[in-house]
Structure 1
Amino acid sequence: MPISETQKAGLRDLLLNEKNSPVLLQLVNSTTKNVWKTEDPEEALRLLTAHIPDIYTLLYKRAITRELLFSYWHTRQPNVATDFTKADLVAKVIQYWEQEKGTESNITSRGQAAVSVYATYKLNDENYPIHAIARKFGEWFFERFNSDSLSLVDLWTDAALHLTIVASDGINELECATAAEVLSALTSAKKQFGFHFNPNLTHAGIQGRMDAYGQVMVLCCGTLHTPKSCVGVFECAFGLLRDPYADNNWKPKKFKCLLKSELQPPGLYTLCSSKTLQAALELPVPTDDLD
């Protein structure tokens, strides 16, 4: 659904001010991939609303942070409580714009349309190429890792690992910086504790992001099992790069893993429950193919 005139007026209220105009110009640069440069906020807003298909896609851009949305919402509705998640703030801000402009009956119909668009947005979000890459990689990696068939050729030679193991007797951390050391450290930890890694391969448990260096980040979590029971959870961030000498396939270069024992592990562990991956979840989500 194209950005409506009401939403354009709301965006003007949100972004056309001394504090947020730099964010607006940053959005234009990232959206047009620096092809179109402008210092005029009005022109920048016209470009954004012309090239971005709907209001949710725009407000979910990385440059529009939770802090920016909360500050705006709190200024306009200081006595109305809200959740602090970005999804809730986006919904509240759009609802505020609609309520300011329409009649009560019109608000209801617009609100229903907004819910429908949001549901479609979330559904499409799961099908972005970067999330498909993440799911495919996660399935491949943990299948090979659990079956002890992961090999050195599956990793970049200068792969690096930061491994943290949290158990009842303390915290152990390990860092290494070659493929052989990474593979040895991961395999040793798995064998020492007898772990089987059960990744959550739904969208709630594995997603893709893009870091500042162009690496595809695969963010994944799941549960740790022994032959007798579920004994803990894990959180992993993999940095992937294409290898031109391996049919241009994605290979892991960076690993950051947390293995944590728990007396009562959850049945299904999700990214929103993760403590170590929240900053990575704020990284951008490309919507196009990663060629």
Structure 2
Amino acid sequence: MASLGLSEREQAGCRDLLEFLETEELMALTDTITNRLVHPESRREAIHAILVYSQNVEELLKRRKVYREIIFKYLAAQGIPMPPSSEKHLLIDRVKQYWSGQLTTHASESGDRKPHTQSHGEREKSLQDDIHDLGEEFCQWFFELLNSQHPLGVKSEERWGPEHFWEDAKMKFCYNTLEKNMEEYVGSEMVSLRLLSLVKEEYLLFNPNLHANGLKCAMSRHGLVLVAVAGTVHRDNTCLGIFEQIFGLINCPLRENTWKIKVVNLKIVGQNALEPGMQIEKPSIRYEPNQLQELYDGKELTVFEPQKF
């Protein structure tokens, strides 16, 4: 059965893009588009129904269940890099250009007639580079803003507050000085206030290591951007120890170029609790990006124990 409004090339592109959705999400999208008149029994049937009942590409891609992150991942897989902060409508425009043949990819410029010339490894590297750039930009913003709350810090024009966190944000804070301690907080207000108190009341300053192995980033299947960063903790002119912090970021649908914090895992280890031979000059993250993905790829977003230094 032919599609009501999609060309053959658009249908092929939509099939590839929809494969990035989970089966549960595909079924929900089918219900929305067909007004629950079609009951597919497989992913293939769901995708077919979506293509048949979609009037045009823009209508389909603007659906809420076709997340911005899905379109971003699809473009990255085709070897078409976009800034990670790109708004959804810009990603849709780029997809439409690609499917209409107006977009010249790097592959076309090199003389290869096949549109998919990047190997799987190359596509993964391109996507990973974009996510890493986002993570680095986020860390620069976050720690500059947090440190500016120190009584003697350089004040920032931007306000620190719960608006930078999702309402159901979670934080796990582990610190090991003379003994191990653990605190947990739930809610944007509580998470925001606890982080603020570390700087404003306990006079701590965070110096992240954004080079080498000090920063590692990944994206989960559901579009959660994971940023793991290590660094040193200071008070006045004294280095107190090292920290490891892992953020889970989700793009705000109301302001699509804004990433808000869903999860925070912070671990601080004082110098007197460091393992023998531990170098404090260049604290590093021991998680690999694929390990970060595995930790957050479950159906439920969980808070996990930061890896031991």
Scaled by the length of structure 2, what TM-score is found? 0.49
CA contact (8 A) 2:161 2:192 kept: yes
CA distance in 1, matches of 2:127, 2:256: 28
CA distance in 2, matches of 1:268, 1:262: 14
Identical pairs, percent: 26
Which residue number corresponds to residue 144 of structure 1?
Answer: 145
Which residue number corresponds to residue 21 of structure 1?
Answer: none
Structure having the larger proportion of residues in helix: 1
1:164 and 2:164 matched: no
Alignment map for 1:250-269 (pairs within 5 Å): 250-263=259-272, 266-269=280-283
Q: Deviations over 1:94-147 (max 9, x none)?
A: xxxxxxxxxxxxxxxxxxxxxxxxxxx7xx687x11001100000000000111
1:218 counterpart letter in structure 2: V
Q: Deviations over 1:200-259 (max 9, x none)?
A: 112521122112432111111111111122111111111111112335411111111111
How far did residue 190 of structure 1 move?
3.2
1:234 counterpart letter in structure 2: F
Alignment map for 1:177-196 (pairs within 5 Å): 177-196=186-205
1:135 counterpart letter in structure 2: E
Q: Could you say what the CA RMSD is over the residues aligned between the two structures, in angstroms?
A: 3.5
Give the secondary structure class of the aligned counterpart of 1:163: strand
CA contact (8 A) 2:218 2:290 kept: no
Scaled by the length of structure 1, what TM-score is found? 0.51
| Pair 1:180–1:52, CA change in 2 (3 A) | same
Give the secondary structure class of the aligned counterpart of 1:246: coil
1:251 counterpart letter in structure 2: K
| Pair 1:271–1:160, CA change in 2 (3 A) | same
Q: Deviations over 1:18-40 (max 9, x none)?
A: xxxxxxxxxxx99x748x99xxx
CA distance in 2, matches of 1:165, 1:256: 11
2:234 counterpart letter in structure 1: H
Q: Could you list the runs of 5+ residues in structure 2 that have no partner in the other structure?
A: 1-15, 22-42, 45-114, 150-158, 273-277, 297-309
CA distance in 2, matches of 1:205, 1:278: 16
Give the secondary structure class of the aligned counterpart of 2:237: coil
CA distance in 2, matches of 1:278, 1:57: 16
Give the secondary structure class of the aligned counterpart of 1:157: strand
